[in-house]
Structure 1
């Protein structure tokens, strides 16, 4: 088996896992969407969102609790190095325990000493994911956000946006049409820079950098997009795209566009993680739910594919419970895979994030 369970971390509605290092030490950040409220009906969009984000520190072969962050309705954490400084930015979709407030500030922190201090805030609306990337000397911070439910009103900017570093802070640079953003992916092919953007109710598409702005380049789905993941193998440029209501598909770059190479699975796909080891290249696909949010099926099998003979072959499946993310890290000379679970079979939030040893 490729995965051997190593450790369980008690989490509530965990939406992502982010391994990162600071001052030479290994950490793991886990944003949490919500926690259960006793004597209330189960619902995947219910609960108490004032959960906080967890940060763990690797010690003696295990993660131990380090600090918490004041994050409500946690969806994402990103950590990046920039201008010889380390930053952390968090995304929260909402706060409260019903009715919820979706217009909340998103916080960018800077590493100061052994902790994090608030550096800049951004007015957000149902924020889902941050993504930092650079093009030459220019630095960008992209925020995927938004929701289109009639009872939720946007008073903050509702569309997904990109900010650019202006020398002292990140200033608004470009607004996208998407209204329920989930994910970004940036990469370069032969000197051309691309930015993938996944949206739930609008087109999930690839944008190309013109030198002045990101312009539409290629559409991958009309709705239900969740994740783009770019990687290279055997000299090929590949792009995996997850669609929670349709097929998750692997694309290959062919001179001037991506073409469908292989269907990986049907509905349920949410995230991808690439693992490279001495045994080869593996693609981990995390499946979230099937069915409608009012009655979701959360106990799914997520998948591990191995690149063999110009395609991915399914080599292992493992159970997830409302799986949301996977991330690889190295510690003590071994490869580990962190997997976040967010919903129990009876649609409660208290379910473990699991750390696996990767044996490939």
Structure 2
């Protein structure tokens, strides 16, 4: 039989028996039944299951039984080893935006009709306003708002290759930013220490070389400001010049550069000791500036080490250690705010034995970051936070599955999580199959929202399609464009003179490409 259940909001499920007394089993706790089947390992593509859209409802369809989906009935029904022969599932849905209880009802399409007690629970779709409404017995309550007449109607039509940028070496990261009075710039983290890294300036003809900066196995750049002063910080790994794994240094020095208005260049400002740093994140809390470094490993084997939060000291005019946090092969930090709360999430990639690790979301409390939630990830390489309306999402890029001496699996799920405001936790929203994903980039065009993933390797080839997904409401993100890339390491979205672009970097070839997003 085909079994479908709505997983859009991951509603709690309880059970109601049809025994002799046909009464509700009040002793049962609400349970998310699908979590027993689907969430034990979010990286696996579950056999015999697919997401299906039907009559406005989105759910999971089980096409055939599979042993991996089995679990003891006693996990649901205490002291009961078998399901009763007949049972029903009671689904509870909590909607924060309006009070009326939505019961099973019909959907009407067309011009407005009066809402009455007889139509309570009736859904109505207005194709002119592109709005969905529910009748509460007296008035129509908005479920989904349509477009405002003055809304930005820009729509993505197609993607056009704009520039092929030849670089001095392979590139691990691109950071796009603005410098007042100069324009839009891009800092590229090049692998080669001989040529160093480079800053490019955007012109009518695309990016052109603006400044070379000496780096050593650069892995990432981050632009930030302290007051009106602009800075760049680079993650130096030092690994490119120490190709023998036995001779890798215990530590490296990452460097902060300050923009000089007089010289119109970035000049060295401060060095900080790091350990194969993979990423820097910059953020402000209560008008104080902080930097977080993702220390990946110390030496060749020690991956479980301290990553560091630095704070800008106004007295010494430099960054000083504020807090240390234990991480395992840290790859990325992502800072974000939700209302008055400040969060920082780390992508833990490897502990020396396995890539199956807990990545950690921290929340700022009393001047320090404290653990808010842990999420199982698989060589997590990137977190991207984004908002659609009032909804808050986090998407993780899972790189690969690896355990002990076993083979690596590169074709795995990366997962989008949504913040459950009432439950105060992120819950799984959507799985997307990726190929050693190393980056997600979120952007919007007009009223449309997009995610693009950097697929880097499938176990056989670095020549892969990186995929552009569009937000489709109930359906989540659906693929709309397949962009050929080679060893893709990063995507960045930027706009200039009313036009929108994407740039991707390659960690396997000395080139980057700029794509123009044609709209209508």
Q: TM-score range by the shorter chain?
A: 0.7 to 0.9
Task: Report the equivalent of 2:174.
Answer: 77
- Aligned-pair CA distance for 1:331: 2.0
Describe how 1:254-269 pairs up with structure 2 within 5 A. Answer: 254-269=365-380
Consecutive unaligned residues in structure 2, runs of 5 or more: 1-6, 9-153, 299-305, 351-356, 474-520
Task: Report the equivalent of 1:301.
Answer: 413
* Residue among 132, 135, 146 paired with 2:237: 146
Aligned counterparts of 1:80 and 1:59: Cα–Cα separation in 2 = 24
- Aligned-pair CA distance for 1:289: 1.9
Residue 405 of structure 2 is aligned to residue 312 of structure 1? no
Cα deviations across residues 236-283 of structure 1 (Å, max 9, x unaligned)?
Answer: 111111110242011111111010010011442111111211251111
Task: Report the equivalent of 2:186.
Answer: 88
Whether the aligned pair in 1 keeps the contact of 2:198 and 2:212 (CA below 8 Å) is yes
Task: Report the equivalent of 1:274.
Answer: 385
Describe how 1:44-193 pairs up with structure 2 within 5 A. Answer: 61-71=157-167, 72-84=169-181, 85-94=183-192, 102-148=193-239, 151=244, 159-167=253-261, 168=263, 169-193=265-289
Aligned counterparts of 2:332 and 2:376: Cα–Cα separation in 1 = 14
User: What TM-score results when the alignment is normalised by the length of structure 2?
Assistant: 0.53
Aligned counterparts of 2:402 and 2:191: Cα–Cα separation in 1 = 22
Cα deviations across residues 138-185 of structure 1 (Å, max 9, x unaligned)?
Answer: 21111112145552789xx95211111122211111112113111111
Aligned counterparts of 2:307 and 2:471: Cα–Cα separation in 1 = 31
Structure 1 residues 205 and 267: CA distance shift in structure 2, 3 A: farther
Whether the aligned pair in 2 keeps the contact of 1:109 and 1:119 (CA below 8 Å) is yes
More strand by share: 1
Cα deviations across residues 214-256 of structure 1 (Å, max 9, x unaligned)?
Answer: 1111222254111111111132111111110242011111111
User: What TM-score results when the alignment is normalised by the length of structure 1?
Assistant: 0.76
Aligned counterparts of 1:239 and 1:222: Cα–Cα separation in 2 = 13
Structure 1 residues 221 and 62: CA distance shift in structure 2, 3 A: farther
Describe how 1:6-21 pairs up with structure 2 within 5 A. Answer: none
Consecutive unaligned residues in structure 1, runs of 5 or more: 3-57, 95-101
Whether the aligned pair in 2 keeps the contact of 1:196 and 1:228 (CA below 8 Å) is yes
More helix by share: 2
* Residue among 357, 360, 378 paired with 1:249: 360
- Aligned-pair CA distance for 1:359: 2.6
Whether the aligned pair in 2 keeps the contact of 1:281 and 1:307 (CA below 8 Å) is yes
Counterpart of 2:196 in 1: which secondary structure?
Answer: strand
* Residue among 310, 327, 330 paired with 1:225: 330
Whether the aligned pair in 1 keeps the contact of 2:178 and 2:184 (CA below 8 Å) is yes
- Specify the structure having the higher radius of gyration (Cα): 2
- Aligned-pair CA distance for 1:201: 1.2
Aligned counterparts of 1:282 and 1:236: Cα–Cα separation in 2 = 15
Residue 304 of structure 2 is aligned to residue 200 of structure 1? no
Higher relative contact order (CA 8 A, sep 6+): 1
* Residue among 440, 464, 467 paired with 1:354: 467
- Aligned-pair CA distance for 1:76: 1.0
- Aligned-pair CA distance for 1:352: 1.2
Counterpart of 1:125 in 2: which secondary structure?
Answer: coil
Q: How many residues are paired up? A: 296
- Aligned-pair CA distance for 1:110: 1.6
Structure 1 residues 121 and 278: CA distance shift in structure 2, 3 A: same
Structure 1 residues 120 and 79: CA distance shift in structure 2, 3 A: same
Counterpart of 1:343 in 2: which secondary structure?
Answer: coil
